[in-house]
Amino acid sequence: MKRKIYTSGETVFDIIFKNSRPQGGNPGGSVLNSAVSLGRLGLAPVFLSDFCNDMIGEVIKNFLKENGVKPKQVIADSCLQTSVALAFLDADNNAKYEFYKSRPKFSDTQLFTADFHEDDIYLFGSYYGIMPEIRDGICNMISQAKDNNAIVVYDPNFRRPHLKDLPHVLPFIIDNFEKADIIKGSHEDFELIFNTDSQEETFYKLMRINPNAHLFYTKGKNGCSYCFKGEIQEFVAPKIVPISTIGAGDNFNAGIVYGVVKHNLTKSALSGKIEKDVIKDIVEVATKFAQFACMSNDNYISQEFANSYKI
């Protein structure tokens, strides 16, 4: 049976600004970006989220279907609007965000259900993974995945605008860390969550929370570190001139999921050490995905680029 990939995260429409002028717009949201890249790779992910039946919502729904993603969403009351994110690029093309959100209300049971089988994959993260209003639904998805021996991949993708909420949501982040098989985060994420300034300190904290997780610590232009049970592998990133860093980490996540499928890493295999050459290939491909996003104005890898990686 073909492995199913389930993903959940917020849905927004990104409008990108440079020098105070809009440069373009894309359907966005951290996990949505990952799902689109996975869809273009032919992996047919299911995307569980919520957005409205307004014009932007229709654009997003059609875009997902056209790119091989199966959207499962609640069509909210027509008086509500799909969320919009304004991304302002600085001189180094790093983005700062302002969000305009309208949170529809729905029952968790309407959205957060999946037909997991052994070795299927559940990718989730960002603020959507710890949002108090839908926390019961996210926990339900994680429980369903674990009960059926599916693989749980978590990226906290925690950003400074939510730092004021950290005392309230930190227990949810820790719970997600405890239950994940694979954890990926950036140095910015962990600096905010743990107040750490080194990967060694971060790995130490993560291993105390979940000693069995495979850990990926991304450092932007400085590459990536991988850790399992205290053994660390270091990887450099080729130098590029980025156009925009939007979607870089999301496409790295897509690369991890792609690598799990490509190398047929089962739930059982992830309970132990993975060969160094396999981890090297996963990180190198994930880095290529991330850098492709950095060198375009899109949030995902292109279909042409994805065609050369289809399994």
Tokens matching residue 180: 């994940």
Q: What CATH number should be reported for the domain holding residue 130?
A: 3.40.1190.20
Residue 52 has pLDDT above 90, yes or no: no
**Residue whose structure tokens are 């957060």:** 112
Contact 285, 309 (CB under 8 A): yes
Nearest to 125 by CA among 6, 230, 208: 6
Residue 54 has pLDDT above 90, yes or no: no
Q: HSE of 124 in the Cβ direction (CA atoms, 13 Å)?
A: 28
Q: Residue 200 contacts by C-beta under 8 Å, 6 or more apart in sequence? A: none
Strands (E), 146-249: 151-155, 182-186, 214-218, 224-228, 231-235
Number of structural domains the chain divides into: 1
User: Cα(287)–Cα(58) distance, rounded to whole angstroms?
Assistant: 32
- Over pLDDT 70: what percentage of the chain? 95
Query: Per residue in 107-151, pLDDT tens?
Result: 566 678 899 999 999 999 999 999 988 899 999 999 999 999 999
Is residue 311 in some structural domain? no
Please, which pLDDT band fits residue 76 given cuts at 50, 70 and 90? low
pLDDT at 263 (0 to 100): 98
Is residue 132 in some structural domain? yes
Please, which pLDDT band fits residue 95 given cuts at 50, 70 and 90? confident
Is residue 289 in some structural domain? yes
The mean per-residue pLDDT over the stretch 167-172 comes to 97
Q: What is the mean pLDDT of the chain?
A: 92
pLDDT at 164 (0 to 100): 95
Tell me the residue range of the domain where 86 lies. 5-107+114-306
Is residue 128 in some structural domain? yes
**Residues comprising the chain, all counted:** 311
Is residue 64 in some structural domain? yes
Contact 253, 186 (CB under 8 A): no
pLDDT at 195 (0 to 100): 96
